[in-house]
Structure 1
Amino acid sequence: MFSSVTLRSAATEDRPALLLRPWREADVPALRRAHADPVLRRRTAYPVVGESDGLMFVEDHRRDWELGTRFGFAVLEEETGRLVGCAVLKRPSAAGPAAEVGYWTAAHARGLGVAPRALEAVTAWAFETFGGAGLDRLDLLHQEDNEASCRVAAKSGYALEAVLPPAPPEFPLSGHLHVRRAPA
Structure 2
Amino acid sequence: MTIVLQVPGAGSVSALLMRPWRSDDLPALVAAHRDPELRRWLNTSLTDEAQARHWLDRQATGWATATRFSFAVVADTDDRSPRGLVAVTVGTAGSAEVGYWTAGHARGQGVAARALETVSQWALGAQDIVPLTHLDLCHAVANQASCRVAVRCGYALRDLLPAAPPAYPDIGHRHVRTT
TM-score range, shorter chain: over 0.9
SS at match of 1:166: coil
Query: What CA distance in whole angstroms lies between the structure 2 residues aligned with 1:176 and 1:131?
Result: 30
Query: Over aligned residues, Cα RMSD in angstroms?
Result: 1.4
Which residue of 7, 10, 13 maps to 1:12? 10
The letter of the residue matching 1:60 is: R
Aligned residue for 2:138?
Answer: 141
Check if 1:83 corresponds to 2:82. Answer: yes
The letter of the residue matching 2:99 is: G
Query: What CA distance in whole angstroms lies between the structure 2 residues aligned with 1:134 and 1:25?
Result: 29
SS at match of 2:169: coil
Aligned residue for 2:175?
Answer: 178
The Cα of 1:163 is off from its aligned counterpart by 0.9
SS at match of 2:173: strand
Gaps of 5+ in 1: none
Query: What CA distance in whole angstroms lies between the structure 1 residues aligned with 2:142 and 2:24?
Result: 33
Deviates more, 1:59-68 or 1:39-48: 39-48
Question: Taking every aligned residue pair, what percent have the same amino acid on both sides?
Answer: 43
The Cα of 1:64 is off from its aligned counterpart by 1.1
Q: Give me the TM-score of the superposition, normalised by structure 1.
A: 0.92
The Cα of 1:83 is off from its aligned counterpart by 1.5
Which residue of 92, 109, 112 maps to 1:112? 109
The letter of the residue matching 1:45 is: N
Query: Aligned ranges for residues 45-84 of structure 1 at < 5 Å?
Result: 45-79=43-77, 80-84=79-83
Query: What CA distance in whole angstroms lies between the structure 1 residues aligned with 2:169 and 2:91?
Result: 23
